[in-house]
Amino acid sequence: MTEERSGANILVESLVKQGVEFVFGYPGGAVLPIYDALFGDERLRHILVRHEAGAAHAAEGYARSTGKPGVVLVTSGPGATNAITGIADAFMDSIPLVVITGQVPTALIGSDAFQEADTVGISRHCTKHNYLVKDPAELAGIIDEAFQIATSGRPGPVLIDIPKDVQIASALWNDAPAQRRQRYSPRTEGTADEIAQAVEMIARAKAPVFYTGGGVINSGPRATALLRALQEKIGAPVTSTLMGLGAFPADHADWLGMLGMHGTYEANFAMNQADLIVCVGARFDDRVTGRLDAFAPNSEKIHIDIDRASINKTVRVDLPIIGDCATVLDQILTLWGDRKGQDISAWKTRVEGWREKKSLSFPLSDKAIMPQLAVQRLFELTKDKDPVISTEVGQHQMWAAQYFHFFGPNKWLTSGGLGTMGYGLPAAIGAQLGNPDSLVIDIAGDASIQMNIQELGTATQYRLPVKIFILNNEWMGMVRQWQELTYESRFSQSYSESLPDFVKLAEAYGWKGIRIENESQLDAGIQEMIDYDGPVIVDCLVAKESNCFPMIPSGAAHTEMILYGDTVAGTMDDEAKALV
């Protein structure tokens, strides 16, 4: 049926046709026509956040945990600029978002009108694509194309800027399926020659390692299943980036743990000594490679990635395969068939020798709860519930990556590329909405949790039983650690001198507050958090000056690791310090 509709109504109908469940947003003058169109419409559930950054991060958490695109709706000017951090975060971590921003009326664009910002210009470098809509008749096609772009190829955010007069103006609306424009068609399959070469390289390798990233998870559950199937055929050890945790089960005998700056000894040394690295859905970022001239110097490298721009960007590879992780893994498995590779038992014995370093062993204290222990106990007491874990950013994030273990995809939500403090709470809210029956926990630090603490109100309003587990050491912990190691313990502005009482703050928002002050209270406090049918903040007081190891100093090779018990004073030379 064809009929006249306002631009705002066309937008709403288009979102419904896309199967959108939730819209994370905050109203303002330039989007009031859209909010009026949403009024009383039960097909879309609007989630009112307390800050536009919270809207973007909540949409990220929803997308990351469900595999569906997140949708954001904010007003012009400061509404749009407040959302930019979340948009940039999604861009760095390949999270599919469709962000709808209001704009001043078309005739006022460029006049410095009230609440005007050049949203398209500001967002150009942190979106896959963006639009300034000038005609309501174009809206349906733009919405359809935006969802296609956000979810195809390497996922990411797409922004649609809609002037207020376009929202009010009318155009013909047809509820028939839209004619999809195919302007974006990423390559998904490797060529026959590439697949044949990959199989030959794997077959002759005597010391192979799988290096996996977030692209495996973004490709979907089929990709994670195919990764496991190929690994079973080859027998090679597997490591992962921060964003790839959960793509391979952490209880597998060949799992090495995370690699990189705070990765395990065995993961980093396996990467350094391998004769073949099969990189699947990762991008050789600086936190993984360390000093480039010392990275995996004697290995051949296969790089499977759907993003052409990621190939040979930082590390030259011997065989690039541009394609979807699941599709390419399936191609390799099919061609591999019943082939037998080299005997890699000697290689796996070397790997076991590196494991003997027990690089995640940490010192215990009879005076304070060690943060590593707190995460270990949180994992042990919740693992049977298969929880969804989000984090803020800092030491607690790395401890969570090291000591909380994941056996499947879409359970680990963290800000990897941008490192955004304040990500975890709104991401947990989005994840809880997308997974209403799951236990969702934000592992937080006392500094980072305050970045978007106002979103406690969002969880209260929608009765979301989100849990926040704060590792409270009264410092900006990672800043303090770098100042200790790099700046001769000159702790400039990194001590949190006026923290709130998190228990009272929880109660002020209608949450339950629990404080854990010593190790004897740890298990009982965690269990109380799990058992409570509602939102909970746990304020876990941990050792104040614990450092996060293993650690590769910035500018060092990935074999130059600091472990617990090492002497760290003067670890970094002047060249390395200059790179911090």
Residues annotated catalytic, as ranges: 52, 114-115, 164, 478
Contacts of 23 (CB under 8 A, 6+ apart): 15, 38, 44, 45, 46, 47, 71, 72, 73
In angstroms, the Cα distances linking 227 to 221, 414, 476 are: 10, 22, 37
Q: How many CA atoms lie within 13 A of 188 on its CB side?
A: 9
**Which of 188, 503, 177 lies closest to 331, judged by CA?**
188
**Contacting residues for 95 by C-beta, under 8 A, at least 6 apart:** 60, 63, 64, 70, 89, 155, 156, 157
Cα separations in angstroms, 55 against 47, 329, 383: 8, 35, 29
Of 3, 72, 59, nearest to 31 by C-alpha is 72
Q: How many residues can be counted in the chain?
A: 580
Q: Using an 8 Å Cβ cutoff, are 521 and 235 in contact?
A: no
Q: Which residue has the tokens 């590769």?
A: 552
Nearest alpha-carbon partner for 154 in 96, 220, 68, 71: 96
Closest CA to 211 of 284, 152, 143, 310: 284
d(CA 312, CA 309): 8
Q: Report whether 540 contacts 473 (CB < 8 A).
A: no
Within 37-189, strands assigned E span: 45-48, 70-74, 97-103, 129-132, 157-163, 170-174
Ranges assigned E (strand) in 248-404: 255-258, 276-280, 300-305, 319-322, 388-391
